[in-house]
Structures are given as structure tokens and as C-alpha cells.
């Protein structure tokens, strides 16, 4: 049973516009969420995280929003650049549990075209 879901396998956005990547989770005990970016032939690279005590975290062009009641988070990239083209993974964890390891979604392939 997959506890973190990324329902859109791909997203295509024009350069300069906003990219919105979505992630849903089922475990209400999750309290820490991360986004990773992965280029081909490389390992995932940590991008941004958010704790459940916040509903927004911003780092430059990247902002993560958390809606705990909906068990939903999203990553906004503004403005999108061609170098942002990669697979984006959402991950979640229950930090209060001794078994609170990271659970990953299947990823969303973002393509930013000029």
C-alpha cells in the first residue's frame, strides 16, 4: 500500500511560467516532508523540506505548501527554467516513530520547454 502518491507522472511547462507538482499522502502521522530532484544517471538531490508545524516553506524559486487537513503538499517553481527539467520525488516521514523512515512517491517528470 503506497502511502505517498504522485498521481501525475509527467508535467510540461513553458519557461518562465509556474510549475506546480502535487503529492498526496495517506498516513496522518507523517510530520516531515521533502522534495527531491533527480536528473538522469544521477541520484536524487535534496531540494526543500517542510515540517508539519508550518504550511509554507520558501527557498528562492522553490516553495512547498502543506495542507494537513487534505493530506496534500505541492511544490511551486517560479519562474520555471529549462534546467529544472528532471524527475521530482515527494517523500514523507513520521519522525516520532522508531520506524519513521522516508516513504517516496513514484515521481513526476517535469519538462520545461523554451
Q: 3-42 mask for other proteins (x: CB under 8 A)?
A: -x---------------------------x-x-x----xx
93 binds other proteins (CB under 8 A): yes
78 binds other proteins (CB under 8 A): no
Residue linked to cell 530532484? 37
Output the 3-class SS for 42-104: CCCEEEEEEECCCCEEEECCEEEEEECCCCEEEEEECCCCHHHCEEEEEEEECCCCCCCCCEE
CB 4 to other proteins: min, Å? 7
58 binds other proteins (CB under 8 A): no
Contact in structure between 108 and 9 (CB atoms under 8 Å): yes
Q: Which of 57, 76, 106, 111 lies at the binding interface for other proteins (CB under 8 A)? A: 106
Contact in structure between 11 and 19 (CB atoms under 8 Å): yes
50 binds other proteins (CB under 8 A): no
Contact in structure between 20 and 75 (CB atoms under 8 Å): yes
Q: Quick one: 20 or 48, whose CB is closer to other proteins?
A: 48
Under the rule (CB under 8 A), what is the footprint of other proteins?
Answer: 2, 4, 32, 34, 36, 41-46, 49, 89, 93-107
Amino acid at each position: 500500500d503506497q502511502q505517498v502518491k504522485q498521481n501525475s507522472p509527467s508535467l510540461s511547462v513553458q519557461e518562465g511560467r509556474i510549475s506546480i507538482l502535487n503529492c498526496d499522502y495517506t498516513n496522518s502521522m507523517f510530520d516531515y516532508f521533502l522534495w527531491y530532484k533527480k536528473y538522469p544517471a544521477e541520484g536524487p538531490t535534496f531540494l526543500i523540506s517542510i515540517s508539519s508545524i508550518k504550511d509554507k516553506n520558501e527557498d528562492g524559486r522553490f516553495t512547498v505548501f502543506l495542507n494537513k487537513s487534505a493530506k496534500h503538499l505541492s511544490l511551486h517553481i517560479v519562474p520555471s527554467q529549462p534546467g529544472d527539467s528532471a524527475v521530482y520525488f515527494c517523500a514523507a516521514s513520521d519522525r516520532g516513530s522508531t520506524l519513521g523512515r522516508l516513504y517516496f512517491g513514484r515521481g513526476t517528470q517535469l519538462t520545461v520547454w523554451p
